[in-house]
Chain A
């Protein structure tokens, strides 16, 4: 079946790098996503990676994908207090040849950034 798992909590100091890890089970997933949820807010898409890529960098964010191990990570460089939030990884459940389908979410990792 489809399953996505994350560690529940990560605490870092301001200025350090944060690495949030995620494992998934559906090897047919085409895209994998990282979303950020701040308290009382909806979900903000941070970045996503196509399954034939190993790495994607976008400013302070670096996504690494190990398809063999079904492991995804999000690295936030120079973490700021404003990065404190819940981070969800998600995989897309394929339907036929289209990527249109539901997202399977992990439980979310709460990132706490200490000044």
Chain B
């Protein structure tokens, strides 16, 4: 199955700043998915990232707040912009693994102070 390297694993950031999270996959994948897990909550899809096109955002998420890059078939970044304490969450990337479901990165635990 695919192996995803996600970094940073955690960060503490000042409000008003931005953080870019990276995911590197060890194989080429068509779609990459970015999820948010707020404290004590389930996972919610932020957006789907295709290589060579703009990401598709879910209701409640906008590109200005969560810009995504997908420069090639093995890499994607998610930026959390102009952060506030409400952005404190775990952010996870995911890819579809044909025949074995969806694989997730280890997550980025973000705390905004």
Contact = CB atoms under 8 A, between A and B. Distances in A.
A45 B92 contact: no
B57 to A, nearest CB: 11
Contacts of B33: 102-103
Main SS at interface, chain B: strand
A53 interface: no
Contacts, number: 47
Contact of A41 (B31, B58, B107): B107
Nearest to A34: B101
Contacts of A106: 42
B42 A42 contact: no
B41 interface: yes
Given A100-B30, A102-B58, A42 B45 contact: no
A103 B45 contact: yes
* Chain A residues touching B, range: 10 to 19
A24 interface: no
Contacts of A33: 101-102
B109 interface: yes
Given A103-B43, A103-B102, 16 more contacts: A31-B101, A35-B104, A42-B92, A42-B105, A42-B106, A42-B107, A43-B43, A43-B104, A45-B100, A48-B101, A88-B42, A100-B30, A103-B33, A103-B45, A105-B42, A105-B44
Interface of B: 6, 30-31, 33, 41-45, 48, 58, 92, 94, 96, 100-107, 109
Q: What 5 A-B pairs have minimum CB-CB distances, sorted nearest first?
A: A42-B106, A43-B104, A42-B107, A105-B42, A102-B45
Interface of A: 31, 33, 35, 40-45, 48, 88, 99-100, 102-103, 105-108
